[in-house]
Amino acid sequence: MTPLSTAAATIALTVNGEPRSLPAGTTIAGLLAIHDLDARLVVVERNGTIERDRTAFEATALDDRDVIELVHFVGGG
Amino acid sequence: MTLADSITLPQLDTDLVIGGRTFTSRLMVGTGKYASNAQMVAAIEASGAEVVTVAVRRVDLDRSKDEGVLHHLSPDKFFLLANTAGCFNVTDALRYARLGRAAGFNEWVKLEVIGDQQTLYPDTAGLIEATKVLAAEGFKVMAYTNDDLIAALRLEDAGAVCVMPLASPIGSGLGLLNPMAIRTIKHRLTVPVIVDAGVGTASDATLVMEQGVDGILMNTALAAASDPVRMATAMRLGVDAGRLAYLAGRMPRREVAVPSSPTTGMLG
């Protein structure tokens, strides 16, 4: 792969408040895999909408400028 | 066998039913602020609690903090109740409630809309508004509120399945500051009343339950005790003691002595 095609094939998005650059075509499942996260234990909010259907994570590609929140349960009262 | 196990509470008490679901324990506990996950699990098991609250937060992608609480608490063993702690307006509370439902295993939420950073007192107007929205979406809303009767009545009208007045501010350990207010709320509401926040030690829990409320939710009283597992056991017994004393009906208070032994048959 040439540097030119690599540059053209990335998307810029925000994940948990931090700017990120990912290969174009990265799916929700792919993003979770990068962080070694179990899809059953994480909720994905994409541009303010909860991605409820976890079976669609493999097929759902992220878009340039997406704002993603990955949340889970932590200790609390 | 512990003392608690030897008492046949089911025969002495009625079921706790909230929103159509029967719960096994009147003591509900949080999962925050423990020194370790192992200590948290041990304390929760000692408390006998079925309902266990959790918070919704961003995953730490750098893994500098600990993993999610579901790695330590099985949803098959405990009834996980997501809260909206940390939300200071209705919009945030609704967002966290919806994320919690998507993350969790039920449609229940412990709704918090906080109105003030220093006291963490609830924004009751925001609570009522958020309760209406969530109840319409099918949530079973357990609403954390202050010890104000009118707010409690409005929350019931708004569709809360139970109302959760505070004993004193969250994390304060000051115990039950206004027993009359709590009794009044209990007398006037149809839905269950669970006192949430402020209990510091077992006698506080007993005193709360003696007011006739349906249960208690606590976190810091266990997590911040020097020995959380012992305190959890004490709280379990304290809640049961207070509940049974309430059901038993205390004797009237008198400001004069009444002898317990016969006044006749004394030696002449």
Give the tens place of pLDDT for each residue, B181-210: 999 999 999 999 999 999 999 999 999 999
* CATH architecture assignment, domain A10-72: Roll (3.10)
Q: In this complex, which of A43, A70, A74 lies closest to B69 when CB atoms are compared?
A: A74
Domain annotation covers residue B124: yes
Domain annotation covers residue B68: yes
Model pLDDT for residues B94-140, shown as the tens digit of each residue: 999 999 999 877 999 999 999 999 999 999 999 999 999 999 999 99
Which residues in chain A have Cβ-Cβ distances shorter than 8 Å to B102?
43, 50, 52
* Contact assignment for A75 to B40 by CB distance below 8 Å: yes
Domain annotation covers residue B1: no
Residues of the domain holding B53 = 16-248
Query: What percent of chain A stands above pLDDT 90?
Result: 81
**Of B75, B130, B134, B133, residue with least CA distance to B106:** B75
CB A13 within 8 A of CB A22: yes
Q: Tell me whether residue B110 is one of the annotated catalytic residues.
A: yes
**Of B189, B249, B179, residue with least CA distance to B211:** B179
Domain annotation covers residue B259: no
Model pLDDT for residues B141-152, shown as the tens digit of each residue: 999 999 999 999
| CB proximity list for A4: less than 8 A, separation 6 or greater | none
Radius of gyration of chain B (CA): 20
Q: Which residue has the higher pLDDT, B5 or B215?
A: B215
Q: Is B47 on the interface with A (CB under 8 A)?
A: no
* Contact assignment for A77 to B102 by CB distance below 8 Å: no
Question: Helices H, strands E: what count in chain A?
Answer: 2, 5
Domain annotation covers residue B263: no
Domain annotation covers residue B229: yes
CATH number assigned to the domain comprising residue B56: 3.20.20.70
Model pLDDT for residues A23-59, shown as the tens digit of each residue: 999 999 999 999 999 898 899 999 999 999 999 999 9
Q: Which of B33, B65, B110, B140 is the catalytic position?
A: B110
CA distance B183 to B71: 39
Domain annotation covers residue B190: yes
Per-domain residue ranges of chain A: 10-72
Place of tokens 């004394």: B266
The answer on pLDDT for B217 being more than 70 is: yes
The answer on pLDDT for A1 being more than 50 is: no
Cβ under 8 Å to B: A residues 25-64 = 35, 37, 41-43, 45, 50, 52
Structurally, chain B folds into a number of domains equal to 1
CA–CA min distance A75, chain B (Å) = 4
Which residues in chain B have Cβ-Cβ distances shorter than 8 Å to A69?
58
Query: What is the structure's pLDDT at A8?
Result: 61
Which residues in chain A have Cβ-Cβ distances shorter than 8 Å to B71?
41
Domain annotation covers residue B264: no
Three-state secondary-structure class, residue B186: helix
* Contact assignment for A74 to B82 by CB distance below 8 Å: no
Q: Is B70 on the interface with A (CB under 8 A)?
A: yes
